[in-house]
Structure 1
Amino acid sequence: MTSWEESVVGVEVSVKGLTKSFGVQKIWQDVTLTLPQGEVSALLGPSGTGKSVFLKSLIGLLRPEEGEIWIDGTNIMECSSKELYEIRKLFGVLFQDGALFGSMNLYDNTAFPLREHTKKKESEIRSIVMDKLELVGLTGAEDKLPGEISGGMRKRAGLARALVLDPEIILVDEPDSGLDPVRTTYISQLLLNINAQIDATTLIVTHNINLARTVPDNIGMLFRKKLVMFGPREVLLTSDEPAVKQFLNGTMIGPIGMSEEKDESQMREEQKLADAGHNLGGVEDVEGIMPQMEPAPGMPYRQAVDRRRERVRGIMHELPDSAQQAIQESLDEADRQNDEHGNQGNDGRGDDRRYDDGQQDGYGNYREPAYDSPQSGSWR
């Protein structure tokens, strides 16, 4: 079994004034954000806004023209190729399609980074590989080829390979791509289970709204070649920014169009149709904030919950009123639950806390599980 007691909190990733172009086409400009240590963050945006480009820039696969990318105290924009090679060992990356080698079975796919980047003996490699395959629920599937398994299993195999070097930073590119809503929920649960066990700093690139509403601690959005916002999940989920509301509700009403951005005349025409009673898709505004998912029963307590609570308390005065209210309601409920259960400080359970048959939201509030946790190998 994976030893989560040995996990080390992931490193902070800080991006300052980042600008990237392909030729004369500017992808995004002046992007500044910080991925807090050990927390799960999500980056949203319409198709074509450069979310995957941003992810690849963080690991040096693409080089922005301007800005800084600080990882573990090092600005990788100034690194030599040799230094960048070492920095990349801090990362685990799950690409959209899993990026598995079709001619290798799942065992060899997962073992590949260990054989490439370490001098470990095969006996050590086997122990690590089987541990990671167990972590993602693929015990017994190690001899299968990627073409012999489902898309969901390929995602999990790619995740096992991303974890094999015990990364401090995990980048996940469109984990829901090609998956139905149920499997997307399972992969969301798995990502939180992993965060609870290894406490890595995690960035998920997605345009799946349910995942964005329920998984991350922090959310950002790219649109019109800029970072619209980035911060605690409550900021974006309570925002009145037109592009954010349109994206979250999935409606035609708003500035996002088929070619990313609409002109004013199209927006006026669509608003007239909506006012006349035409259905332009999407859903009504969701009242309140959906509860944040938490690790499955039996998982260790997410240390990021406590760190985030203290961090957000320190910046609440800088946030919009709607976000402050949502955060304060969660904090008040957490305090009430702690008092009812006679807990002190860190819920009185110390670092060996586990989730029982009930779960907790992102601030430690007790709630019933939304569904049974997936058993090893039981979902595809």
Structure 2
Amino acid sequence: MGVEVSVEGLTKSFGSQNIWRDVTLTLPEGEVSALLGPSGTGKSVFLKALIGLLHPEQGSVIVDGTDITKCSSKELYEIRKLFGVLFQDGALFGSMSLFDNTAFPLREHTKKSESDIRSIVMEKLDLVGLSDAGDKLPGEISGGMRKRAGLARALVLDPQIILCDEPDSGLDPVRTAYISQLLIDINAEIDATILIVTHNINIARTIPDNIGMLFRKELVMFGPREVLLTSEEPAVKQFLSGDRFGPIGMSEEKDDATAAQEKELEDAGIGGGGTKDDFSEIIPQVQPNPGMPERKASARHRERVEEMLHELPENAQQAIRESQSQEDEIRRANAEGMDRQNNKGGNGNGNNGGGNGNNGGVNTEKQYAGSNDNTEQFPAYRAGGNPAGNS
């Protein structure tokens, strides 16, 4: 089962340049969370701080009861075995084949035989569609293939915590859908705690149980995905719509003159180029493929969200209730479809795929999330978009 990661008052700078300050959030055990934010806001830096590759100036990162900002190098080495990390650029060893890159954690941290290692590595490479590319070097394949190989390596130890830095970058929309589904299936199988850094709004709308957003060196909010997706916070609305009119500029903080010019354009009816999708209509969350276990996190998360529901804005409460109702209906429909498939299979007609109407459940119809039954899991959430951790 995945473990909880608790971040309290985390601050990181490079020299005089402050990256973010006073970040406070909890990644609930076994849940899938996403971290959004404009480019350059320190999302990758945050992931590196979670695994101790970068040391913060202030705050704590408690992983499975151990504060990695204060532990010894030996303790940190052991804690890191809980993690599987997909770095933004794949971070593969250029002189090793994809097979050897994927096998590296097994050879480093286990005493498995080479035959066992081969079996595990080929299983993971097959999961990401690279079973025929194991003998290739990273320089011989595309950036998207390197990203998928990095994911195979991140999964090879069946980690309790999986960190994914932009898993969709370099991937076409179809491969992105497969990777997204894979992360949900893995969560169902091993109940791992997963954090995804992404700019992909479709991933943010359909995959995570919880969403946070970094902007202007602070965590704007962190909580159930419906809270952020229905937020009236200007930076959140602008980011989700991809519009150039709003507080986010080409540089992180838009100057007053640019903001005034854009306001005049907006008032004149000139569009900012963003989508006009209604994000208050919550898309049902992706659920595991048929035949996979039900996500244990779903029940835990729902119980905790229902306990904190009265504290949330009214539009978020309504979105959560509607989303839960939709997901319950989808779950029932999928269960009925699987029953029909199994019955047909028993009669010798099982090659038709079951007739559940959702193409095997991939990516479009899904279920809600779960974690601990403790409302304190979301200390970083502040209604109205106030910076998290500044109560």
| TM-score for the superposition, normalised by structure 1 | 0.85
Aligned with 2:21 (options 18, 29, 36): 29
What are structure 2's unaligned runs of at least 5 residues? Answer: 337-353, 370-391
> Is contact 1:299-1:355 (8 Å) kept?
no
Q: Which amino acid aligns with 2:304?
A: R
How big is the shift at 1:115?
1.4
CA contact (8 A) 2:247 2:254 kept: yes
Q: How does 1:216-365 map to 2 (within 5 A)?
A: 216-287=208-279, 288-334=281-327, 358=358, 359=361, 360-363=365-368
1:249 alignment partner AA: S
Give, in angstroms, the shift of residue 20 of structure 1: 0.5
Q: 1:342 to 1:138 in 2, by over 3 A?
A: closer
Q: Deviation of residue 64 (structure 1)?
A: 0.4
- Structure 1 residues without counterparts, runs of 5 or longer: 1-8, 344-353, 365-380
Residues of 2 paired with 1:131 and 1:341: CA distance?
Answer: 27
Residues 318/56 of structure 1: CA separation in 2 closer, same or farther (3 Å cut): same
Using the alignment, how far apart are the partners of 1:333 and 1:49 within structure 2?
34
Q: Deviations over 1:237-274 (max 9, x none)?
A: 00000000000001111110011111233222201102
Taking the aligned partners of 1:12 and 1:133, their CA distance within structure 2 comes to: 28
Q: Report the residue type matching 1:46 in the other structure.
A: P
Cα drift, residue 185 of structure 1: 2.4
Per-residue deviation at 1:333?
4.2
Tell me how far apart the structure 2 counterparts of residues 244 and 84 of structure 1 sit (CA, whole Å): 35
CA RMSD of aligned residues (A): 2.3
Moved >4 Å (runs of 4+): 333-343, 354-357
Corresponding letter in the other structure for 2:84:
G
Give the structure 2 partner of residue 45 of structure 1: 37
Look up the match of 2:154. Answer: 162
Distance 1:337 1:225, change over 3 A: closer
Which SS does the other structure have where 1:267 is aligned? helix
Gap change, CA 1:357 and 1:296, over 3 Å in 2: farther
CA distance in 2, matches of 1:291, 1:106: 35
Q: Is 2:328–2:367's contact at 8 Å kept on the other side of the alignment? A: no
Q: How does 1:184-199 map to 2 (within 5 A)?
A: 184-199=176-191
Q: CA deviation at 1:105?
A: 1.4
Secondary structure in structure 2 of the residue aligned to 1:28:
strand
Q: Which residue of 2 aligns with 1:61?
A: 53
Identity of aligned residues (%): 73
Deviations 1:197-255 (A, max 9, x none): 22210001111222212211110000011000000000000000000000000111111
Q: Aligned letter for 1:201?
A: T
Aligned residues: 346
| Cα separation, 1, equivalents of 2:249 and 2:233 | 16
SS in structure 2 of the partner of residue 230 of structure 1 = strand
Alpha-carbon shift at residue 357 of structure 1 (Å): 5.7
| Structure 1 residues 35 and 342: alpha-carbon distance in aligned structure 2, compared to 1, 3 A threshold | closer
Query: Which residue of 2 is the match for residue 6 of structure 1?
Result: none
Distance 2:331 2:96 in 1: 50
Question: Taking structure 1 as reference, are residues 117 and 336 closer, same or farther at Cα in structure 2, changes over 3 Å only?
Answer: closer
Cα deviation, residue 186, structure 1: 2.6
**Helix, strand or coil at the partner of 2:81:** helix
